[in-house]
Chain A
Amino acid sequence: MSERLRAVSGQIIALGVALLMGAIIILMVGESPVHVFMTLMRGAFGDQEKIAGTLLQTTPILICGVAACIGLRGGMFNVGIEGQLFLGGFAAAWVGFTFSLPTGIHTLAALALAVAAGAAWVAIPAYFRARYNTNEVVSTILSNYIAVLLTSYFTIFLFKRPGGWSETPPILATAYLPEIFSFSRLNWGLFIGLLLAVGVALVFRYTSWGYGVTMVGSAPKFAEYGGVNVKRQGFVVLLLSGAVGGLAGGVETLGVHHRFMEGFAPGFGFDGLIAALLANGSPVATIVTALFFGALRSGSLLLEVDTTASREIITVIQALIILSVSAQVLVRRRGDSQAGERRWKF
């Protein structure tokens, strides 16, 4: 228990340090940190529309965060969630504008293909990891570029809507994810994300399979000795992580954009990964951290209106968070590093 307390307090201190450094940088660009942070708060939680906007931004970060958590739990660093999200988004849109199916079934079919697309995309690095022990960090990062450009190619050359932007034809209303409020595009995707986070946490805690995977992640040689097939579980975990990454893209197109646009969801995959790291790989804690990043994104919209600071300051703050969290992880794990532990592969 005190172990967990230490982990949580460590993350909070890291967050505090990052915000403090952010405040210094805001001072350096000649704006008041208090004013900027208050504006961010107002932009994120000022009224019900803003809160809904924050939750709208939180949804894809949360789902991507859960995807990252699945990988981390099994000792796999899936840095390719961004690419899986793009392919999943495109796959869902394709089902949405190509087929005509009854309401609900259409949505499910589109989400199913999004899941399949994400899993198929990560299957390539996952195979090489299992077969040749290739470092999955490198191969999943690289696969992002291909995925993003591949979906651009599909959109521009194969499925472009006549005239206008680089986007596909709109998907049919039968495939939409229902909206929750009349005043926001916030949709059932949020519930999918919340259910997924809790569900994944339960599976890891309360199933034999989840126990084996957790051991593969934290003590691979022990897991191997105990009869867990380490290579197979690593492959499975990456596949599941990619599947959820694909789902995130499907939820985004079916719930928010109702079409696939080139560059439709920049950075959600990476934000999700950071949210998962900040949550120490816990899916439930990722709900909180994803909300934090969602609020930053949503609050930043008001930033350029009401302050002289650029909204890019948000990116700076995020980068500072990554820095301080990884420094914190390194410090906390320094003692363990002598045992050759390799949980966070930096």
Chain B
Amino acid sequence: MSNAPGSPTPHSTVGMAVELTAITKRFGAFTANDGIDLAVRRGEIHAIIGENGAGKTTLMNILFGLLQPDEGSIRLNGETTVVADPAVAIKAGLGMVHQHFKLVPSLSVADNVFLGMEIRRHGLIDHAAQVARTHELSKRFGLHVDPTERVGLLSVGIEQRIEILKVLVRGARTIILDEPTAVLTPQESRELFQTLRSFVAEGMTVIFISHHLEEVMEVSDTVTVLRNGRKVATRPTSELSKDELVRMMVGREVSFDRRPRAALNGDVVLDVRDLWARDDRRLPAVRGASFTVRAGEVVGIAGVAGNGQTELAEVLSGLRPASHGEAWLKGRDLTTLGPAAIREAGFAHVPGDRMVRGVDRNASIAANTLMGRQHRAPWSRSGVLDWKAIAANAGTLIKSFDIRAQGSGDPVKRLSGGNIQKVVLAREFTNGADFLLIDQPTRGVDIGAQEAIHSEIMRQRAAGRAILLISVQLDELAALADRILVMFNGRIMGEVPGDNADEDRIGMMMAGVLPEPAAEPV
């Protein structure tokens, strides 16, 4: 443990775990990394931050030997090294935890940890020793797992701990984590940060990739910002403010302050009355929700994930039956209709799980913009599709929603998360619906795109649409919503006005501490 944050040491190579010099990597005409220098001191938590497509993952893949740089050199622990493949990197004490886990679901935790380097006794796998060693490591670094449990039964957060354990038993002293918190709950993220700090306390080095500002500010000692394949700066975290960091990442001012708005005076568009629904385990998940959404109004639903928001969205969009209650949209009760009829009634839906519900990843942008309107002119006549018109429209949407793609024929899976979300928004916001259900619009979306998506939502509000915005991010609701309803355990605990939203009050309602009798009888 050589360095505390903010106390720069003389730049001696001895203290450097990793030094990349002038790394350049091109894919065809596209330059993913353009002359990037990066120096990571031993014993620090070094965050690499940038928008999607800034070159973070490419750089780390080069460091770990998964890609070869076109130019530049790598020094590991002060020695110039050609990292021809990951085996070289591992030997030099590097370990990488990828975004997608590579675990065998049918094997136990310990067996997964030691897969490929099993502890043997008399030629057989020594399970007891593997379990003991896994247990010891997990205790030492606060990576709580049960070594004997089968991986297939575990949550994503625990799978990540197993991936980290795998890296540890392979002797890593410098650990690279690629967007580790993208799959974690806030609670799990906090535990992960504890673990990262315990690594540093033992003199190890952590490099972690992120585009979440808060966590970078919270956990890192040093930040390197990348933008469009170039390095913008490397600075001690303590010298930076959040605003500065955003400006460096995006290259311009970005504001997540409350959006200015005109006063509303619209009619009630959606009227939900005492709505109940069950989750997949047949347990009540929505318990007597009642609320209204007016034209030109953004009603936010706050709450910790898993408190009935998903089920509420599914019931309203016809994907899940209601067990009781009504939801009136312009004179039609949505609980009696299927998804197609609900869309016909003037309902658009930006789903929370956009990769599964929102798009067909393998289909083109054009084909994805067609969903829900494939039976309507001008996209089809007498059941025959007009692909020319569909592609032309998709081209227009790509322009007006600033979707970064080569053309409407691009498969959606080639786009970044933010651009995939823009495809969904483009489709849903242009089908003429009066009511928009928007679920987690900016989850996993980088900052520049987040701002664009927020602006688009506000444009829809200005156009007189009624909007129900479900989000687990309070700052998003505070920026956009006119009223915020807080959900806890399937109930709506209360309502807070959107301007000057009292975060403490919302927080208490989210935790179920502050029950407020339903004070809003339509």
Contacts and interface: CB of A to CB of B under 8 A. Distances in A.
Interface of A: 3, 205-212, 215, 218-219, 221-229, 336, 338-340
Interface string B371-404: 1101100011001110100000000000000000
B372 A207 contact: no
Contact of A218 (B343, B363, B372, B385): B363
B305 interface: no
A227 B100 contact: no
- State the 9 A-B residue pairs at the shortest beta-carbon distance, nearest first: A227-B340, A219-B360, A226-B371, A208-B374, A226-B372, A227-B339, A208-B380, A225-B357, A211-B374
Interface stretch (B63-71, B196-204, B348-356): B348-356
Interface of B: 100, 317, 319, 338-343, 349, 351, 353, 355-363, 367, 370-372, 374-375, 379-380, 383-385, 387, 411
Nearest to B367: A211
Contact of B374 (A3, A212, A221, A339): A212
Contacts of A206: 384-385, 387
A221 B356 contact: yes
B340 A228 contact: yes
17 contacts: A206-B384, A206-B385, A208-B374, A211-B370, A211-B385, A215-B371, A218-B363, A219-B359, A219-B361, A222-B358, A223-B371, A226-B339, A227-B340, A229-B340, A336-B361, A338-B100, A340-B356
A205 B356 CA distance: 22
Given A208-B374, A208-B383, A209-B383, A215 B363 contact: yes
B370 to A, nearest CB: 6
A218 B360 contact: yes
Contacts of B379: 208
A188 to B, nearest CB: 28
Given A215-B360, A226-B339, A226-B371, A3 B383 contact: no
A225 B374 contact: no
A117 B249 CA distance: 65
Contacts of B349: 225
A227 B338 contact: yes
Contacts of B340: 227-229
A16 to B, nearest CB: 26
A193 B343 CA distance: 39
Contacts of B363: 215, 218-219
A222 B319 CA distance: 11
Nearest to B360: A219
Contacts of B358: 222, 225
Contact of A225 (B319, B361, B367, B411): B319
A227 B380 contact: no
A222 B359 contact: yes
Given A206-B385, A228-B340, 9 more contacts: A208-B379, A210-B385, A215-B363, A219-B360, A219-B362, A221-B357, A225-B339, A227-B372, A336-B361
Contacts of B411: 3
Q: Which residue among A206, A211, A212, A224 has the maximum number of chain B CB atoms within 10 Å of its CB?
A: A211
Contacts of B367: 211
Contacts of B360: 215, 218-219, 222
Contacts of B371: 215, 222-223, 225-226
Nearest to A230: B339
A224 B372 CA distance: 10
A210 B411 CA distance: 19
A223 B340 CA distance: 10
A153 to B, nearest CB: 42
A209 B375 CA distance: 8
Contacts of A209: 383
Given A211-B374, A219-B363, A229 B387 contact: no
A218 B319 contact: no
